[in-house]
Amino acid sequence: MGLVAPDGFTVFLQLVLAFALELSVYRVVKARFSRPRPFTQIPFVTMLIPPPDEFSFPWGHTAAAFVMVIVIGVHAPAAGLLLLDVRS
């Protein structure tokens, strides 16, 4: 019994669901730690654009990217390794 590759829409739904889960966890953790944004704590840091919310959490973009790479890597391991690029 072989594995059947999912169609593009199924992979898309998996990406959306994975991102929704990551975003939910991220928001809970961000609210829990309530880390102030750098421009409120460091006098010489200038805010160039308005922040989307009050708090900062440094790994939000990284977590979202990692979740996407993992889902892609499940379906296309070579692409996942290329996107992960673990070289230092």
Average pLDDT (45-66) is 84
- What's the pLDDT band for 69 if we cut at 50, 70, 90? very high
Residue with tokens 């739904």: 13
Please check the confidence at residue 70 and state whether its pLDDT lies above 70: yes
pLDDT at 14: 94
Domain count, the chain: 1
- What's the pLDDT band for 67 if we cut at 50, 70, 90? very high
Residue 2: inside a domain: no
Residue 32: inside a domain: yes
Q: Please spell the DSSP secondary structure of 2-62, one letter per residue.
A: PPPPPPHHHHHHHHHHHHHHHHHHHHHHHHHH-PBPHHHH-TT---SS--SSSB--TTHHH
Taking only the tens place, the pLDDT of each residue in 21-35 is 999 998 898 888 888
Domain that holds residue 48: 9-84
pLDDT at 3: 57
- What's the pLDDT band for 2 if we cut at 50, 70, 90? very low
Residue 4: inside a domain: no
Residue 1: inside a domain: no
